[in-house]
């Protein structure tokens, strides 16, 4: 369902008047929705292109990636929930939650590693940018 269609409307429109969106998990490599294959699907998704992962993350929460404004809103929500990093270059938070969080300690450690990794990437990019400026 396109949640944005009902924003600010009182009363909310009836379901039969609201646009619906269908996500095909098979478009993202999932073979079926058994617990084992969901895990395999997430593991395989993590290895695909970032643009494919973005589309999945937006679609999975009902924000159709083929609609640019809904896609942006979906990614913003995923970022605000801590599932996509602030520079929107990875979804380590999502994978920590979906694949690695067996206990509270597990998710805390995974998210800490993800934050450190993001910080290293940020520092590395800043150094590359500084080097380019010096070369020019």
3-45 pLDDT, tens digit per residue, is 677 777 788 788 888 777 889 999 999 999 999 999 999 999 9
Q: Encode pLDDT of 52-93 as tens digits.
A: 999 999 999 989 999 999 999 999 999 998 899 888 888 988
d(CA 52, CA 119): 23
For tokens 């993202």, the residue is: 28
User: Is residue 122 over pLDDT 80?
Assistant: no
Alpha helices in 6-67 (DSSP H): 35-46, 50-60
Closest CA to 28 of 40, 18, 36, 20: 40
Nearest-angstrom CA–CA distance, 99 and 29: 16
Q: Binning pLDDT at 50, 70 and 90, where does residue 135 land?
A: low
């Amino acid at each position: 369902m396109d949640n944005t269609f009902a924003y600010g409307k009182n009363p909310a429109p009836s379901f039969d008047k609201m646009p619906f969106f269908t996500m095909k998990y098979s478009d993202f490599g999932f073979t079926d929705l058994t617990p084992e294959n969901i895990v395999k699907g997430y593991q395989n998704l993590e290895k695909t292109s970032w643009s494919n992962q973005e589309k999945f993350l937006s679609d999975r929460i009902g924000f159709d990636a083929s609609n640019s404004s809904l896609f942006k809103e979906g990614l913003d929500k995923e970022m605000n929930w801590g599932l996509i990093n602030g520079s929107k270059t990875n979804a380590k938070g999502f994978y920590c939650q979906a694949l690695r969080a067996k206990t509270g300690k597990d998710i805390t450690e995974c998210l800490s590693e993800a934050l450190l990794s993001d910080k290293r990437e940020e520092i590395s990019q800043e150094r590359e940018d500084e080097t380019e400026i010096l070369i020019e």
